[in-house]
């Protein structure tokens, strides 16, 4: 199949996934991932180079956006609870899954580290959606939970960058440029955005993309990768985006319309259903390897910091999706893990997005149920 | 005994517009108060980014604000007392629960909503008719 034919097929798949998402109320990312599995396995497509490139860039954009979504003042206010829950939520599954992969499944050290990282994540978006639904996002419990999730995310991107670094001389310009962007862009942003912002040609988005491409290039040259600086750059700009929501929205529109669909499709297309079928036992082990340490590690802290919703909190901290996918795809693209290992990790990531959330909502959802909207009224 | 409190479920679909018209007409005849309840469906389940959640949340907020304003204008035009409420949740469960909570005498519903999942999983109207503790009128 030619490159343009694959593009047409994938564009149609993305469109169908978006429509299905609206109709059935499931996340478009999850549907794109599942659509990728179907398309990839049904048509046995090779991933074209343009898709690999767009997917890699989209992963960095998603990481940047995750940083930009961090509520820094809230994180500062709740740092004690956030740091303890967030770090345990990261380290417990990272250690257990890493050891399980290394000693139990015979993966090499780097493969085991990718496994541990991919399954240590907590999904900020899944947690956020459930908190908004329940009204808990306005309560202290919800704020602590969000902050703890930020900490887990920070730990994951830090691990992803530091564990796989093999520095050469390019690490110096990479570090210097990263610092310059992280310190300089928040200072430059107000002037730049007021001079060039609010135009359909979107210079502000181009500034962000140029910065991210620069980080990706330097990361590649220095045998490192751009996840950590991209996340921290997003974090540094989060304060700016709080007061400039429209700019953040435009960035999201560009990302959701063109970039992230191909990231999740690419993830799905790399999943081998036959490899999964042949390794169902391993899949079960990895699910247990993620869930047991997450639940066991977070629950005692949740009882202390998020009572009386400790079980609910613990289950939500066990969810994962975006960073698990980013980490697994990084491992596959870098040749660290093979397609079978990737298929297993992605499947556990998707299961961890669905199963703990469904259990939390079905059996442990707090009965606050305040109206999320306040548009009621009376006319006579 | 004439109906005093009539609950109508609104979701902006053609079917719910018919239900609203019927509820307002009945209320005009019996001098009843109409309670218009809009049930917001869930946010996208298992989202990958906060942006996706926020976008749907904003769309819903805008949609339901406009819907409530339109219903209020129609009730005012018909001279009918109206209370409106927008709540998140599962439609059938919430309508039944809301009717109990507000002591409603009659529930008026359109025969189908505008989401594909309603058509695939059986209509909200069927489930409300099965579980409600008061009479239910399903309008075509």
CB A62 within 8 A of CB A322: yes
Q: Tally C-beta pairs within 8 A across A and B.
A: 134
Is the predicted pLDDT of residue B115 greater than 70, yes or no?
no
**DSSP per-residue string spanning B58-126:** HHHHHHHHHHHHHHHHHHHHHT--EEEEEEES-HHHHHHHHHHHHT-SEEEEES--S-HHHHHH--HHH
Largest CA distance in chain B: 53
Write down the ipTM of this complex.
0.73
Report the C-alpha gap between B5 and B105 in whole angstroms.
Answer: 6
> How does DSSP assign A133-145, residue by residue?
HHTGGGSHHHHHH
> Would you state the pLDDT for residue A376?
47
pLDDT at position B125: 81
- Confirm or reject contact between A326 and chain B (CB < 8 A): no
Q: Is B78 on the interface with A (CB under 8 A)?
A: no
Q: Does B131 touch chain A (CB under 8 A)?
A: no
Interface test with A, best of B10, B51, B114 (most A CBs within 10 A): B51
pLDDT of residue A352: 93
Q: How far is B140 from chain A (nearest CA, A)?
A: 22
* Cβ <8 Å between B116 and A23: yes
Inter-chain contact B48–A377, Cβ cutoff 8 Å? no
95-114 in chain B: CB under 8 A from chain A: none
Q: Residue A140: how many CB atoms within 10 A of its CB?
A: 13
Q: What percent of chain B has pLDDT over 90?
A: 41
Burial of A73 (0-12, 13-18, 19+ CB in 10 A): exposed
Report DSSP state, residue A279.
Answer: T
Would an 8 Å CB–CB cutoff place B1 in contact with chain A?
no
Which option is the CATH number for A3-363: 3.20.20.70, 1.10.3210.10, 3.40.50.620, 1.20.1530.20? 1.20.1530.20
Pair A147, A71: CB distance under 8 Å:
yes
The pLDDT assigned to A371 comes to 47
DSSP A198-259: SSTT-HHHHHHHHHHHHHHHHHHHTTS-SHHHHHHHHHHHHHHHHH-HHHHHHHHHHIIIII
Among candidates A69, A354, A376 on the partner chain, residue whose Cβ is nearest the Cβ of B46: A354
The sign one gets for the Cα dihedral A362, A20, A129, B35 is negative
Q: Do B44 and A23 touch (CB under 8 A)?
A: no
Rounded (5°) CA angle A232-A234-A239 = 110
Sorted by where each starts, the structural domains of chain B and their CATH numbers stand as 5-139 (3.40.50.620)
Q: Which residues in chain B have Cβ-Cβ distances shorter than 8 Å to A29?
A: 46-49, 52
Low-confidence ranges of chain A (pLDDT < 50): 370-377, 379-380
| pLDDT of amino acid A368 | 55
Alpha-carbon distance A355 to nearest alpha carbon in chain B (angstroms): 10
Q: A373 vs B44: CB contact, 8 Å cut-off?
A: no
Q: Which of A129, A322, A369 sits opposite B53 (nearest CB)?
A: A129
Q: How far apart are CA A101 and CA A54, in angstroms?
A: 30
- Mutate one of B38, B41, B50 to test the A interface: name it (highest A CB count within 10 A): B50
Q: Which residues on A lie below 8 Å from B75 (Cβ)?
A: 379
Q: Quick one: what percent of chain B has pLDDT higher than 70?
A: 91
For B56, the closest chain A residue by CA position comes to A22
Q: Does B121 touch chain A (CB under 8 A)?
A: no
Which tokens hold the place of A13?
Answer: 């798949």
pTM: 0.83
CB contacts of B37 in chain A (<8 Å) are none
A192-226 pLDDT per residue, tens: 878 877 777 778 889 999 999 999 999 999 988 89
Instruction: Judge: A133–B88 Cβ closer than 8 Å, yes or no.
Output: yes
Sort out which chain B residues have CB atoms less than 8 A from A367's CB and list them.
Answer: none
Work out the percent of chain A whose per-residue pLDDT is above 90: 57
List chain A domain ranges: 3-363
């Amino acid at each position: 199949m030619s490159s343009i034919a694959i593009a047409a097929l994938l564009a149609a798949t993305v469109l169908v996934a978006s429509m299905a998402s609206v109709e059935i109320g499931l996340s478009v990312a999850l549907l794109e991932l599942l659509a990728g599995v179907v398309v990839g396995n049904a048509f046995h497509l090779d991933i074209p180079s343009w898709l690999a490139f767009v997917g890699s860039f989209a992963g960095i954009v998603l990481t940047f956006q995750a940083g930009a979504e961090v509520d820094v003042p809230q994180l500062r206010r709740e740092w004690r609870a956030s740091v303890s829950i967030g770090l345990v939520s990261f380290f417990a599954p990272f250690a257990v899954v890493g050891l399980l992969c290394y000693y139990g499944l015979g993966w090499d050290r780097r493969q085991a580290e990718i496994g541990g990282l991919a399954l240590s994540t907590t999904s900020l978006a899944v947690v956020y959606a459930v908190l908004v639904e329940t009204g808990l996002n306005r309560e202290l419990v919800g704020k602590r939970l969000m902050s703890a999730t930020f900490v887990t995310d920070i730990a994951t991107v830090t691990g992803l960058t530091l564990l796989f670094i093999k520095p050469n001389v390019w690490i110096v310009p990479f570090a210097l440029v990263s610092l310059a962007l992280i310190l300089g862009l928040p200072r430059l942003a107000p002037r730049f955005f007021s001079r060039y912002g609010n135009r359909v040609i979107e210079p502000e988005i181009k500034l962000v993309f140029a910065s991210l491409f620069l980080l990706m290039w330097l990361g590649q040259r220095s045998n490192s990768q751009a996840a950590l600086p991209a996340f921290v750059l997003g974090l540094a700009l989060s304060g700016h985006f709080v007061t400039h929501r429209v700019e953040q929205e435009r960035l999201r529109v560009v990302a959701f319309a063109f970039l992230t669909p191909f990231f999740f499709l690419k993830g799905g297309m790399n999943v081998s259903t036959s490899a999964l079928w042949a390794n169902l036992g391993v899949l079960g082990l990895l699910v247990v390897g993620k869930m047991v340490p997450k639940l066991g590690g977070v629950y005692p802290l949740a009882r202390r910091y998020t009572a009386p919703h400790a079980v609910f909190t613990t289950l939500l901290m066990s969810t994962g999706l975006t960073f698990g996918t980013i980490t697994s795809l990084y491992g596959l693209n870098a040749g660290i893990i093979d397609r079978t290992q990737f298929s297993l990790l992605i499947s556990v990531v998707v299961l961890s997005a669905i199963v703990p959330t469904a259990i939390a909502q079905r059996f442990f959802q707090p009965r606050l149920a305040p109206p999320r909207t306040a548009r009621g009224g009376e006319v006579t | 005994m004439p109906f005093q409190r009539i609950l109508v479920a609104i979701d902006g679909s053609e079917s719910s517009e018919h239900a609203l018209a019927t509820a307002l007409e009945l209320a005009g005849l019996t001098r009843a108060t109409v309670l218009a309840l809009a049930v917001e469906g869930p946010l996208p389940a298992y989202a990958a980014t906060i942006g996706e959640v926020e976008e749907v949340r904003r769309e819903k907020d805008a949609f339901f604000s406009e819907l409530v304003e339109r219903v209020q204008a129609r009730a005012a035009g018909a001279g009918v007392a109206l209370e409106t409420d927008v709540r998140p949740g599962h439609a059938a469960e919430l309508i039944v629960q809301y009717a109990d909570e507000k002591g409603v005498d009659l529930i008026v519903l359109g025969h189908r909503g505008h989401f594909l999942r309603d058509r695939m999983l059986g209509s909200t109207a069927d489930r409300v008719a099965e579980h409600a503790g008061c009479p239910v009128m399903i309008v075509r």
